[in-house]
């Protein structure tokens, strides 16, 4: 138990990335961790594209808003894609594709943290531009990018982001999001 809690607690959405390349065996292990996630009826609705060549990385880095400038240092970006008909669609609006991709992405992130990497998920990018650049069919949803890299120095970060790297984790109090035995929200 303690072993798993360690990367969970260590993980933060850090931005202090170095450009140092990530060895192939490390990339394979973190991708494997993602694909070992559970999914509804074992549908495995996730599709991952790992961008590590300069050409592939540039296709993504040119589709970012200004606030995500810190991504430009990353040597590895994982795109997480799916579409609704790849997974269970059950009663009462239970469409499981996004849920199952989320499980896989968190596996990915925790294995990356265990390997000494920063792994920061983002939604701030132009999905249409990236899908065009990679010739990804329109019906796929580019749900998330995980920005990975070894920790580096913070000289490229704004004062605001530098401060965030050091600030305590912000979370709602447990009683605001969890109850025991009854619905109290
Ligand atoms: C779906 C999703 C989208 C996010 N988008 C961005 C983003 O575009 N840029 C960014 O810097 N951080 C982004 N984040 C990181 C969150 O801001 C961060 O996880 C949150 O503030 C909690 O901080 P912590 O991860 O350090 O606990 C995103 C996180 C998630 C899960």
Give the domain ranges of the chain.
8-165
Split at pLDDT 50, 70, 90, the class of 178 is very high
Ligand 1 centroid – CA 91 distance (Å): 30
pLDDT at 3: 82
CATH number attached to the domain at 8-165 = 3.40.109.10
Alpha-carbon distances of 148 from 16, 64, 172, 183, rounded to whole Å:
10, 15, 26, 38
- For ligand 1, say whether the CB of 74 is within 6 Å of any of its atoms: no
pLDDT at 2: 62
Ligand 1 centroid – CA 185 distance (Å): 24
Rg over CA atoms, the chain? 17
Span 68-105, pLDDT tens digits: 999 999 999 999 999 999 999 999 999 999 999 999 99
Span 1-53, pLDDT tens digits: 568 899 999 999 999 999 999 999 999 999 999 999 999 999 999 999 999 99
What mean pLDDT value characterizes the chain? 97
pLDDT at 4: 86
């Amino acid at each position: 138990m303690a072993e798993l809690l360690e990367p969970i607690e260590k993980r933060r959405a850090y931005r202090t990335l170095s450009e140092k390349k990530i060895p192939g065996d490390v990339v394979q292990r973190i991708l494997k961790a993602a694909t070992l996630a559970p999914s509804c009826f074992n549908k495995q609705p996730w599709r991952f594209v790992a961008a590590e060549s300069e050409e592939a990385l540039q296709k993504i880095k040119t589709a970012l808003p200004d606030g995500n400038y810190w991504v430009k240092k990353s040597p590895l970006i994982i795109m997480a894609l799916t579409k609704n008909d790849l997974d269970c669609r059950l009663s009462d609006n239970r469409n499981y594709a996004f849920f199952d991709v989320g499980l896989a992405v968190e596996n990915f992130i925790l294995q990356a943290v265990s390997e000494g990497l920063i792994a920061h998920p983002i939604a701030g990018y132009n999905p249409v531009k990236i899908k065009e650049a990679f010739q990804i069919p329109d019906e796929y949803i580019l749900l998330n990018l995980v920005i990975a890299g070894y920790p580096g120095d913070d000289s490229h970060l704004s004062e605001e982001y530098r401060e965030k790297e050091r600030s305590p984790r912000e979370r709602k109090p447990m009683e605001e999001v969890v109850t025991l035995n009854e619905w109290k929200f």
